[in-house]
Amino acid sequence: MSISSSILADNVPTAQITQLCKAAGDPLRMQILRVLQQNSYGVLELCQVFNIRQSAMSHHLKIMASAGLVSKRREGTTLFYRRNFCSPHDQLQELQATLFESLDRLSLSDAISAQLDRINAERSAASVEFFNANATRFEANQDLIAGWSDYGEGVENLLDTSVLNRSTAVEIGPGYGQFLGKLSIAFEHVIALDSSAEMLEQCRQRATSQNLPNIQLLHGDTTLARKLKLQADCLSLNMVLHHNPLPAQIITDCAALLNPGGILLITDLCAHNQQWTRESCGDLWMGFEPAQLSHWARSAGLVDGSSLYLAQRNGFRVQLRLFVKPQAAPIRGATEALLPI
């Protein structure tokens, strides 16, 4: 890992640098940080992933938490750990970001990957089950946090001020389809992509009632979209990422699906501690630090664009982010297997 001289500024206390480097210098702790790249895991889950005793895992996590590399939250009797994208020491922010970027290039063993796939598959299935069971009342639950009326105008303004082609747009997790009307006017072809058949039915009803002829439905996720080689000029993720166990992978998939010059619109919650959202709204993540979304986007080859932050009366903060895929040679794809409404 190469570290520029600007990272180790003269005003950075040597003790803090030493603590961070020691905490990250153990091979097992490096692997743990790599695993925590795009998800948070409980102590027992990490014990299963790495096949070690709970006492040993807790020891390693305590060292990394003391150095500011990870943060923890309690859910019932379980402690969940996630990577801390904002260093508690401002002078170490660039060093910590460089460390994470280097660790993210490490490969995971087949055994570790298999354990992670199992855990994430269980979480994904639980999320789909939640939305299928709550499709008709999800909007009311979501409004307890932030509804389309709170942030929709901001999303539409970001779209209007973006310079991009207007051929194809894909909304991932379109909810009740509140954004589809705007997308239908702005683009020739709009795809609503959702892993919940019941939520897609809500979109179909809205598209039919509003006579939106260029809306097509696709039952699946971004993995399926990549298999179909879909390409789009705009992708939208409105309040989606915190419901998904692998948000970094979603952003990576979106980058692959975007045409050069295309934009990715992300609306999501800033990090919070309101645990009730897990049961009431099916949230898997307690929001995201803006730096975390930026890190994932940069790792996927996207660049930061405009952003807007909205404070809600209930204590939540909403971040509206725009990321751009740099211009390059276009990639052609197909749009088969879509279900017309």
Average pLDDT over residues 147-158: 92
Q: pLDDT higher for 321 or 275?
A: 321
Mean pLDDT of 180-184: 95
Query: What would the mean pLDDT of 236-249 be, rounded to a whole number?
Result: 90
Give pLDDT, residue 260: 94
What is the band of 228 on the pLDDT scale with cuts at 50, 70, 90? very high
With a CB cutoff of 8 Å and minimum separation 6, the contacts of 2 are none
Per-residue confidence at 138, pLDDT binned at 50, 70, 90? low
- Confidence (pLDDT) at 84: 83
CA 235 to chain centre: 13
pLDDT tens-place string over residues 184-211: 999 999 999 999 888 899 899 999 999 9
What would the two tokens of residue 9 be?
């500024």
More confident residue, 172 or 83: 172
pLDDT at 87 over 90: no
**Residue 188 CB neighbours (<10 A):** 12
> Sheet of 41-42: strands edge to edge?
41-42, 78-83, 70-75
* Separation of alpha carbons 122 and 246, rounded Å: 12
The band of 135, judged by pLDDT with boundaries at 50, 70 and 90, is low
Nearest to 285 by CA among 75, 112, 121: 75
Give the mean pLDDT of 52-78: 89
Alpha-carbon distances, residue 113 vs 99, 116, 118, 285 (angstroms):
21, 5, 9, 21
Query: Has residue 340 got a pLDDT over 80?
Result: no
The span from the CA of 74 to the CA of 81, in Å, is 9
Does residue 301 surpass a pLDDT of 80? yes
For tokens 């991009």, the residue is 164
pLDDT band at 284 (very low <50, low <70, confident <90, very high): confident
Region 22-39: mean pLDDT is 90
Q: Which domains are seen in the chain, by residue range?
A: 14-108 (1.10.10.10), 138-340 (3.40.50.150)
SS3 of residue 213 by DSSP = coil
Structure confidence at residue 17 (pLDDT) = 86
The arithmetic mean of pLDDT across residues 139-157, rounded, is 83
Closest-CA residue to 184 (of 212, 216, 159) = 212
- Report the pLDDT averaged over residues 251-278: 92
Q: Higher-confidence residue: 266 or 88? A: 266
Integer-rounded Cα Rg, in Å, for the chain is 21
pLDDT score at 33 = 94
Question: Which pLDDT does position 121 carry in this prediction?
Answer: 86
The pLDDT score that the predictor gives to residue 280 is 75
pLDDT band of 16, cuts 50, 70, 90: confident
Indicate if the pLDDT at residue 3 is higher than 60. no
End-to-end CA distance of the chain: 51
What pLDDT does residue 334 have? 44
**pLDDT at position 264 over 90:** yes
Strands (E), 4-149: 41-42, 70-75, 78-83
| C-beta of residue 194 within 8 angstroms of C-beta of residue 170 | no
User: In the predicted model, what is the mean pLDDT of the chain?
Assistant: 86
Q: Is the per-residue pLDDT at 293 higher than 60?
A: yes
